[in-house]
Structure 1
Amino acid sequence: MSTTTTIDLSRPAIPFGREVRVELRKMIDTRGGVWLFALTGIFILLAMGLTLLVLGLNSDSTITAGGFAEVMALPVSILLPVFAILIVSSEWSQRTHLTTFTLQPNRTRVVLAKFVAVSLLALATMVIAIAFGVLGNVLYGVITPNEVVWNVPVSDLAWTVFQQLLFFWMAFALALLLLNTPAAIAVFYVAALILPFMVYPVLLALFGWARDLLPWIQIDYAVMMVREGTTFLGDPIDVGPIDYLRMAVTIVLWIVIPGTLGFLRVRSTEVK
């Protein structure tokens, strides 16, 4: 008489929320993450202090709560998108993706969990920036004789949050495409910060072709033209469908295309 023994190797599916929490912990629960957050906090305090100093020395200058929030968001936009890069590239550099894909073989879910974690972190950083903006506005009312203005337009706040998300999504997409930390950080900072602040302004001021071309390839310029209704040089424009199309093209160029190619690369790259 023979018997057949069946071993059930199935296991319950990992809840997606738990995967997102794990990815969030990977970003911030490290020594490097703690130092990066600490540096960001220091830069936020410096930005607040310098802003209050300028306003205190020049009584004619005024600012609103929304203006303070945008100033506080600048250090966050410069430093913290590195987390969106590290959450992808560090696993491939340190080969911890072996463990990740063993525990969760579905790579699509892994990438999606990382994307959601990056988006949540971007939104959380905006909450921090707004909180510091409120604090700065209170201090502004204390040290200057000017009236404190709290009327923050919802549209301005929404645009600021949207731009912050774009920064994080761009960093995430480049990390997926390159799967290399130094390369992704270098490309991100060159494309998102160095060129727009150091090279493009010169081209825009000197050449007409740059004023026609750059808004089609630079996210900041395209979003600013739709948001503010002005060009980089301050010339007013009538915002129309072409301006929204221009913004969409830059998003596709810097987020959708590299993100899609990177996702396909992660799906097909051999784990070794």
Structure 2
Amino acid sequence: MSTTTATTTTTRRAPADSTPHVARLPEPLAGPRPARGIPFGRLVRAELRKMIDTRAGRWLLVAIGVVIAGALTVLFVQQGGDHPYGAYLQATAMPMALLLPVVGILAVTSEWSQRTALVTFTLEARRARVAWAKVVAALAVGVVAVVLSFALAAAVHAAAIGLRGATGDWGVEGTVLLGAGGYVLLGLLQGLAFGMLLRNTPAAVVLYYVLPTGWSILGSLWSAAASAGEWLDLNRTMQPLFGGSLTGEQWAQLGTSVGVWVLLPLLVGMVWVTRAEVK
């Protein structure tokens, strides 16, 4: 008797598609590729929104408006509103020159305190263009604020003439208007420069407001500081701007103080902004 043993061989068949699975990249977008970076005008518009369209910026502008409205109301009530246009103009320009520089400070320091600099400098790696966009945006805000202050002072003076019978006195020279505008814009640029130099809101605000007081204290205690303040105290050298005419020496004093307290901090601050570590 013979036994036949059948051997069955099982062969595993490979799947129809033995290619390993590889994730496919998305298809490239159609259309031409951009040939240049973000336009400078778009950067300026973005910086304008950062300065105005934020809670801090809006409340600061509201505070400036409230202070100016209060000063104009006092003039409108006192003496039947019988004040020259120059008095109304000073009531609008002085509060603006005092508070508007904080807008310039926040335009820079908010990038670092709120940790948005990483996003900003990722979208635009050329930090110098961002810094100059902040300067242009701050000047634009300052020019608009100055024009509005002039118009508001004129409106209140006209209301005093029409409603309270005040004597109309519009005798303000164009140089006085330019000087008042320059006073406000220089203060705004100084705030922006301190913001770039320190990149810290409390430090920049304190330095901006303590510096004039420090000059006054030193001048009262030390005669040499009083003499130096004639050339280095920016508040003192800017005062003749409201007069509308400056002598040659006053122009030299103004240029020296602006160079020390506005241009130098602005240039050094720009260098530091382009090199500082972003966290």
Same topology, TM > 0.5: yes
2:28 pairs with 1:21: no
| Shift in alpha-carbon separation, 1:41–1:21, aligned structure 2, 3 A | same
Q: Which amino acid is 2:276 matched to?
A: T
| Shift in alpha-carbon separation, 1:42–1:240, aligned structure 2, 3 A | closer
Cα distance in 1 between the residues matched to 2:45 and 2:79: 41
Q: Which moved more, 1:14-23 or 1:137-146?
A: 137-146
Alignment size in residue pairs: 251
Structure 2 residue aligned with 1:262, among 262, 269, 279? 269
- 1:202-256 CA distances to partner (integer Å, 9 max, x unpaired)? 946x8754542211111121133466499xxxxxxxx643322211110011011
RMSD: 2.7
Aligned-residue offset at 1:267: 1.2
Paired-residue identity, %: 32
Once the two structures are superposed, the pairs formed by residues 96-245 of structure 1 within 5 Å of their partners are 96-142=116-162, 144-192=164-212, 194-195=213-214, 199=216, 203=219, 209-225=224-240, 228=243, 240-245=247-252
1:250 corresponds in structure 2 to 257
| Shift in alpha-carbon separation, 1:224–1:115, aligned structure 2, 3 A | same
- Any stretches of 5+ residues in structure 1 without a counterpart? 1-5, 231-238
Cα distance in 2 between the residues matched to 1:195 and 1:126: 28
- Determine which structure has more spread, i.e. the larger CA radius of gyration: 2
Q: Which amino acid is 1:101 matched to?
A: F
- 1:94-118 CA distances to partner (integer Å, 9 max, x unpaired)? 2101011111111111000000000
Structure 2 residue aligned with 1:56, among 76, 80, 84? 80
* CA contact 1:226–1:244 (8 Å) conserved in 2: no
Q: Which amino acid is 1:212 matched to?
A: S
| Shift in alpha-carbon separation, 1:227–1:152, aligned structure 2, 3 A | closer
* CA contact 1:19–1:113 (8 Å) conserved in 2: yes
| Shift in alpha-carbon separation, 1:73–1:195, aligned structure 2, 3 A | farther
* CA contact 1:174–1:262 (8 Å) conserved in 2: yes
Cα distance in 1 between the residues matched to 2:58 and 2:240: 36
1:83 corresponds in structure 2 to 103
Cα distance in 2 between the residues matched to 1:30 and 1:68: 30
Cα distance in 1 between the residues matched to 2:200 and 2:108: 9
Q: Which moved more, 1:138-147 or 1:162-171?
A: 138-147
Q: Which amino acid is 2:67 matched to?
A: F
* CA contact 1:69–1:129 (8 Å) conserved in 2: yes
Q: Which moved more, 1:112-121 or 1:69-78?
A: 69-78
- 1:41-84 CA distances to partner (integer Å, 9 max, x unpaired)? 11111101111222328xxxx53223312211122122221110
Q: Which amino acid is 1:28 matched to?
A: I
2:19 corresponds in structure 1 to none
Structure 2 residue aligned with 1:42, among 59, 62, 66? 66
Is the partner of 1:80 in helix, strand or coil? helix
- Any stretches of 5+ residues in structure 2 without a counterpart? 1-27
Q: Which amino acid is 2:86 matched to?
A: G
